Structure 1
Amino acid sequence: MGLTKSEVTKARDHICVVGKSIFDRGLTFGSTGNISVRLSDGSMLMTPTNASLGALDPARLSRFDANGIFVDGDKPTKESFLHMCMYCQRPQSNAVVHLHSTHSVAVSTLADVDPADVLPPLTAYYVMRVGRLPLIPYFAPGDEKLAQAVAEQAADNHAVLLANHGPVVAGSSLEEAQYATEELEETAKLFLMLRGHRTRLLTQEQADALRKR
């Protein structure tokens, strides 16, 4: 069965609803952040460049074909390649959320985090929704070398943290990607609040058991 107009319309509206929710709760600001959804035929809808997630027009979203070629809509974001490289490495993913959320970005600038797994297992929900979070080295916005660095981690991790930039999170649905991004941001906030305090983390055994679930 081919792509239907109803599917496209529903995806466009859903992106706008999620974008406004994210913006209204202060998880992104200005024209930062972008959201994409992959449709059943492999084509993609994505928030365009210089667009506030709080004021998206469903008819003006950027549309790409299954090969990642821009088809129509407003001019694509220069960060579209972040979404493309996640989809290429994760055929099971149908949505990607990329934010410049404050606490996640703050953690991405710290010099003493583990680049293989930036945030510790503070809560069960973080482990279940995010899992491991590798840190991607810094590259200037729009640098295509960033795509290669993300792709190297994306096959094994549905969430990555770009150094001095922010998180990129894929999910099987837009809700899954959204909720994981929000869980990541809240855990980053907790992590910063707890720095300097003795903290009781989940044990390795507890975290491994949650990841298997």
Structure 2
Amino acid sequence: MTDTRDALVRAGARLTELGLSPGSSGNLSIRVGSTMVMSPTGVSLGALDAEQLSVLDLNTGHLLDGPSPSKEFPLHRALYARSGGSGAVVHLHSPYAAAWSCTIRHDKTSAIPPLTPYFVMKVGRTPLIDYAAPGDRGQAEALQALPVIFEAALLQNHGPIVAKGSLDAAIDAAIEIEEVCKLLILLGTHPVRHLTEEEAAHLADKYDVPWGSS
């Protein structure tokens, strides 16, 4: 498990250097068999210690080792429960994505429109999850119960959460969400061309990411 712990520490440092994890916000986890190794509560992602990470039982959510986990651990468990292929989860309060999550211009199928090909290729459908207080188990249950396939979601008035097969892929997707939200906010009220449904569907099919309404 040493490699897993070191990977989380490196990831936290990278996200902090990119300015995507202000203060002690954000949390990361990696699935290891029937457990997940997770960043603990109250610790900046830039200050993670490989020997001070939380290990939880995925089935029960019980803490097996280490300090108390982030209060968002139910969201991580919900995403792992949705897909056996998810190997890592990244949740950030990155500025532009968090700002976009506070707007009301959302289609709940995907809170983020197909503005760029890279967003569709790397992220895909990103549903909006209704607001709940951080750590609310009901929000995790709602996320787990959504009837559409997705690998990323936007938590209303909060920020993005991503589940991918690897930690690197989850980080890349989280960065892409931040970039597309930055563009959306910079564009403001200007007329915008989104990708057509046909263009987005072509990319989604080619890169095997979920898109569309089903």
Deviation of 1:154 after TM superposition, in Å, equals 7.8
Deviation of 1:34 after TM superposition, in Å, equals 0.2
| 2:72 counterpart (70, 74, 79) | 79
Deviation of 1:65 after TM superposition, in Å, equals 2.8
* Counterpart check, 1:188 vs 2:181: yes
Question: Paired residue for 1:104?
Answer: 97
| 2:56 counterpart (53, 64, 74) | 64
Deviation of 1:203 after TM superposition, in Å, equals 1.3
Deviation of 1:153 after TM superposition, in Å, equals 2.8
| Percent of aligned pairs with the same amino acid | 45
* Counterpart check, 1:14 vs 2:7: yes
Partner SS state of residue 170, structure 1: strand
Pick closer, same or farther for the CA change 1:119–1:178 going to 2, 3 Å: same
Deviation of 1:35 after TM superposition, in Å, equals 0.2
Pick closer, same or farther for the CA change 1:185–1:201 going to 2, 3 Å: same
Partner SS state of residue 59, structure 1: coil
- CA RMSD across the alignment: 1.2
Deviation of 1:198 after TM superposition, in Å, equals 1.8
Partner SS state of residue 148, structure 1: helix
Residue segments in structure 1 that go unaligned for 5+ positions in a row: 1-7
Deviation of 1:131 after TM superposition, in Å, equals 0.6
Pick closer, same or farther for the CA change 1:176–1:164 going to 2, 3 Å: same
Q: What is the distance in 2 between the residues matched to 1:159 and 1:15?
A: 19
Does structure 2 conserve the Cα–Cα contact (< 8 Å) formed by 1:12 and 1:45? yes
Residue segments in structure 2 that go unaligned for 5+ positions in a row: 207-214
Partner SS state of residue 162, structure 2: strand
Deviation of 1:197 after TM superposition, in Å, equals 1.3
Partner SS state of residue 60, structure 1: coil
Question: Paired residue for 1:54?
Answer: 46
Q: Residue by residue, what CA displacement relative to the aligned partner does 1:91-114 show, whole Å, maximum 9, x if unpaired?
A: 110000000111111111112221
Deviation of 1:66 after TM superposition, in Å, equals 4.2
State the number of aligned residues.
205
Q: What is the distance in 2 between the residues matched to 1:154 and 1:12?
A: 33
* Counterpart check, 1:120 vs 2:106: no
Question: Paired residue for 1:208?
Answer: 201
Deviation of 1:159 after TM superposition, in Å, equals 0.3
Question: Paired residue for 2:137?
Answer: 144
Pick closer, same or farther for the CA change 1:212–1:187 going to 2, 3 Å: same
Does structure 2 conserve the Cα–Cα contact (< 8 Å) formed by 1:89 and 1:155? no
Question: Paired residue for 1:130?
Answer: 123
Scaled by the length of structure 2, the TM-score of the pair is: 0.92
Deviation of 1:200 after TM superposition, in Å, equals 2.0
Deviation of 1:128 after TM superposition, in Å, equals 1.0
Q: What is the distance in 2 between the residues matched to 1:137 and 1:66?
A: 24
